[in-house]
Amino acid sequence: METDRDRVDLFLVTVAQYEEFARIFVLPRSITFGAAVPSADAERDRWTRIMHGALLRKYLQENNDVFLAKVIGSIEQSMDTSDPEVAGTWKRLRDDCEDIKTSGSIRYNINGLDKHAHTLAMDELYSTLLHGDLKRWKRNRSLGGMAGMVMFDWISQVEALVVKVTGFWELANRQGLVHEIET
């Protein structure tokens, strides 16, 4: 039987694994546009961004056990959320999960269509890399040189949210606000 504590523990393990991966495969902080022939560094940077994205996507997939909204729900079960500030913090984080998926901080105009980074990042991952999706492949081709920037934007948003959730969980533990999770 899976419990809320199991979900939180699994989340924390996946975060530790991602942090280890990110120390070894450092996310490039620059993007080269318009190179006639991509350099070896540019290709390595692209694949590094793709791997970061592939590892982070689980946090925004509703069918995943570490979908952040589910993790936050499990965390809330471990705390007294009668304090409006505590309840408000977790509600805002849950809202942030949905915001990344539905709007994101930056929107892109691709062929006259308004798109956000989450949709475009998933197009990059699912068009040819993790699956073979013809519609996503066609949309993704229209990004051209923007694909790296879109993926970087999306990764930054997801990493920030994971850091917030982990940080607030650790803070709640240090302050003695977490009780044993029973489910």
Q: How confident is the model at residue 152 (pLDDT cuts 50, 70, 90)?
A: confident
The number of residues making up the chain comes to 183
What DSSP state is assigned to residue 183?
A: -
For 32, other C-beta atoms within 10 Å of its C-beta total 14
Please write the tens of the pLDDT for every residue from 156-177.
Answer: 999 999 999 999 999 988 888 8
| Cα distances (angstroms) measured from residue 12 to each of 95, 146, 179 | 20, 32, 17
Please write the tens of the pLDDT for every residue from 83-127.
Answer: 888 889 999 998 888 888 776 666 777 777 777 788 888 888 888
Contact 6, 183 (CB under 8 A): no
How far is it, in rounded angstroms, from Cα 159 to Cα 53?
Answer: 10
For 84, other C-beta atoms within 10 Å of its C-beta total 9
Q: Exposure string (b/e) for 4-26, b if CB count within 10 Å is 16 or more?
A: bbebbeebbebbeebeeebeeee
**Per-residue pLDDT at 25:** 94
Kindly tell me if the per-residue pLDDT of 183 is higher than 50.
no
Which percentage of the chain shows pLDDT scores above 70? 90
**Per-residue pLDDT at 38:** 64
| Cα distances (angstroms) measured from residue 126 to each of 11, 12, 16, 98 | 23, 26, 25, 20
Detail the DSSP E strand segments found in the chain.
107-110, 113-116
How far is it, in rounded angstroms, from Cα 102 to Cα 86?
Answer: 25
**Per-residue pLDDT at 2:** 82
Please write the tens of the pLDDT for every residue from 18-35.
Answer: 999 999 999 887 766 655
How far is it, in rounded angstroms, from Cα 97 to Cα 60?
Answer: 7
| Cα distances (angstroms) measured from residue 148 to each of 8, 42, 68, 81, 124 | 31, 10, 24, 40, 9
Please write the tens of the pLDDT for every residue from 45-92.
Answer: 888 999 999 999 999 999 999 999 999 999 998 887 888 888 899 999
By C-alpha distance, which of 139, 105, 112, 111 is closest to 125? 139
